[in-house]
Amino acid sequence: MTSMQAQRRPDKEKLRWMYSQMVLIRTFEERVQQDYMSGKLVGAIHVYVGEEAVAVGVCGQLRKDDYVTSTHRGHGHCIAKGLDLRRMMAELYGKVDGQCRGKGGSMHLCDLERGMLGANGIVSAGLPLACGAALSANLRHTDQVAVAFLGDGASNAGAFHESLNLAAVLKLPVVFVLENNGYADATHIRYAARVTNLADRAAGYGIPGVTVDGMDVLAVHEAAGEAVARARSMRTPTLLECKTYRYYGHYVGDAGQYRSKEEVEAYRQKDCISQLEQRLLQEGILSEGTRREYREQATEAVEDAVRFAQNSPIPGPEVGLEDVYVRY
């Protein structure tokens, strides 16, 4: 990105990329959900369906060499950051060709090559890592930035507050992207916090806090553009809250009885993919034909990833004892 203007108005190519990425994430997650329910996948899996606009809007502003720390709900961030679908799926299947040789699983997907510093099984534990990656960029005199994705639940943990303060005090190029989907497990954020906009907490640390509609990928993209530009050139942090919603339970298998069907339906009406699709069709950036093409491509890519994962060997017992130390 060369100017703020360019960041604000994504060109046609960028818009199509956003659309295809959101569709890809949704297709991947629906498939993961399905394979879990039919017993092909096990473990703890948290899907991102409904929240695609956040990962795509934000990562649409990042370079390959920028850093991202993710959460237990990290598949969307990984896909938007460009991770290989085959190796992601193989990791979920616990296979040797997985991104982490079958030793990380859904909650530890990561990719050194693409600056993905890892999903994280500990709520809020990724935030300090993002601060460190940002400091690392500063010390190495690069203009890389770091993004820490986190949930509303994580914003009540100590590491959130420590990280915002550290980023402010040490002037670190970090964008904290708070995915407020209303719930941490079964607990509504209205119960767990006394502020309406969690971005207001930024004021307590003397950094900018912004709240946007996380179901609107263009709004996310624009706000992320400003935050990333600030990080890139001024080397200062931002808290960006994206109000969003997860369509399924907290984890695959959670019936989600703590919320009403009406509530879920109301959010589905504002679906981030449908919104962008309507707009791109109206503006002629997408046609019926290309729309179908993107969807078919996504389905084929996910099918291919599943085939790859299923054909990949399971790791032998010796693999489990490796990678404890670099040298011992």
Ligand X SMILES: Cc1ncc(C[n+]2csc(CCOP(=O)(O)OP(=O)(O)O)c2C)c(N)n1
Q: What is the rounded distance in angstroms from the CA atom of residue 83 to the CA atom of residue 90?
A: 12
Nearer to other proteins, 120 or 238 (CB): 120
Is residue 173 within 8 A of residue 137, CB to CB? The reply is yes
Q: Show the site string, 59-98: x = touches other proteins by CB under 8 A, - = not.
A: --------x-x----------------------------x
Q: Indicate whether 111 belongs to the interface with Mg ion (CB under 5 A).
A: no
Q: Out of 152, 222, 226, 241, which residue is the one contacting Mg ion (CB under 5 A)?
A: 152
Give Cα 111 to chain centroid, integer Å.
14
Question: Closest distance between other proteins and the C-beta of residue 127, in Å?
Answer: 7
Q: Out of 2, 5, 38, 139, which residue is the one contacting other proteins (CB under 8 A)?
A: 139
Q: Indicate whether 102 belongs to the interface with other proteins (CB under 8 A).
A: yes
Is residue 86 within 8 A of residue 305, CB to CB? The reply is yes
Question: Closest distance between other proteins and the C-beta of residue 42, in Å?
Answer: 18
Question: Closest distance between ligand X and the C-beta of residue 173, in Å?
Answer: 23
Degrees (nearest 5) of the Cα angle 10, 173, 140?
115
Stretch that binds Mg ion, among 100-108, 181-189, 224-232, 289-297 (CB under 5 A): 181-189
Is residue 256 within 8 A of residue 250, CB to CB? The reply is yes
Contacts of 102 (CB under 8 A, 6+ apart): 90, 91, 93, 94, 95, 96, 314, 315, 319
Q: Out of 88, 100, 199, 227, which residue is the one contacting other proteins (CB under 8 A)?
A: 100
Nearer to ligand X, 144 or 156 (CB): 156
Which of 139, 97, 95, 136 lies closest to 115 in space, CA to CA? Answer: 136
H/E stretch holding 223: helix 217-229
Q: Indicate whether 45 belongs to the interface with other proteins (CB under 8 A).
A: no
Nearer to other proteins, 59 or 135 (CB): 135
Nearer to ligand X, 146 or 177 (CB): 177
Q: What DSSP string describes 121-158?
A: SSTTTHHHHHHHHHHHHHHTT----EEEEEETGGGGSH
What is the residue whose two structure tokens read 């970090």? 174
Binding residues for ligand X (CB under 6 A) = 46, 71-73, 121-123, 151-154, 181, 183-185, 250
Name residue 179's beta-bridge partners.
151, 242
Question: Closest distance between Mg ion and the C-beta of residue 227, in Å?
Answer: 20
Q: Out of 27, 144, 181, 244, which residue is the one contacting Mg ion (CB under 5 A)?
A: 181
Nearer to other proteins, 157 or 228 (CB): 157
Q: Indicate whether 76 belongs to the interface with Mg ion (CB under 5 A).
A: no
Contacts of 307 (CB under 8 A, 6+ apart): none
Which of 30, 7, 44 lies closest to 226 in space, CA to CA? Answer: 7
Q: Which does 291 bind (CB under 5 to 8 A by kind): other proteins, Mg ion, ligand X, none?
A: none
Query: Which spans of this chain sit near other proteins (rule: CB under 8 A)?
Result: 67, 69, 98-104, 108, 110-112, 117-118, 120-122, 125, 127-140, 146, 158-159, 162-163, 165-166, 169-170, 322-328
Query: Which spans of this chain sit near Mg ion (rule: CB under 5 A)?
Result: 151-152, 181, 183-184
